[in-house]
Amino acid sequence: MTARRVVVAGAIVADRRLLLAQRGYPAEVDGLWELPGGKAELGESPESALRRELREELGVEVRVGTALRESVALRHDLVLVALRAYIEDGSPRAVEHRALRWVDADELRSLHAEGSLVPADTAWVPELLVDLARR
């Protein structure tokens, strides 16, 4: 059996808005919005991987919280998980993305309805809407 690798994504909610990042690659998802993050290195915990990825992609330091319930099989050996994250230092910048955007619940629903989210990330929309109603 092949070892399972993890891709981590950060659910950053503040002031009832969620931070979304617009991908520029690969072509199939160019222009679509995602929770920022990336692949954990071998032996790296999901929490450390997310702190590293958000430092690289957004230039921020985060505290990592709980995982969202849904996880998504990207391939047989690659699983995508989302962890709640809280910015402790820095202001997010689109270092590796086309753009960043803070969306409220209505904007998230609209992006989802118009097919503007990265397909894998759509599994999290119901849970994200609950979080957006809370903080």
Dihedral sign (CA 84, 13, 105, 117) = negative
Rounded Cα gap, residues 121 and 119, in angstroms: 5
Q: How many residues bind ligand 9L3 (CB under 6 A)?
A: 12
* Residue 24 in contact with Mg ion, rule: CB under 5 A: no
Site string for ligand 9L3, 16-55 (x = CB under 6 A): ------------------xx-xxx----------------
Q: Residue 50 has which token pair?
A: 């997310």
Those residues whose C-beta lies under 8 Å from the C-beta of residue 123, and which sit 6 or more positions away, are 70, 72
List 12's β-bridge partners, or say none. 85
**Binding residue for ligand 9L3 (CB under 6 A) from 74, 79, 87, 123?**
74
**Binding residue for ligand 9L3 (CB under 6 A) from 80, 81, 83, 111?**
80
Rounded Cα gap, residues 42 and 4, in angstroms: 10
**Binding residue for Mg ion (CB under 5 A) from 38, 71, 105, 120?**
38
Residues that bind ligand 9L3 in the complex, under the rule CB under 6 A: 7, 9, 34-35, 37-39, 74, 80, 118, 120-121
Residues that bind Mg ion (CB under 5 A): 38
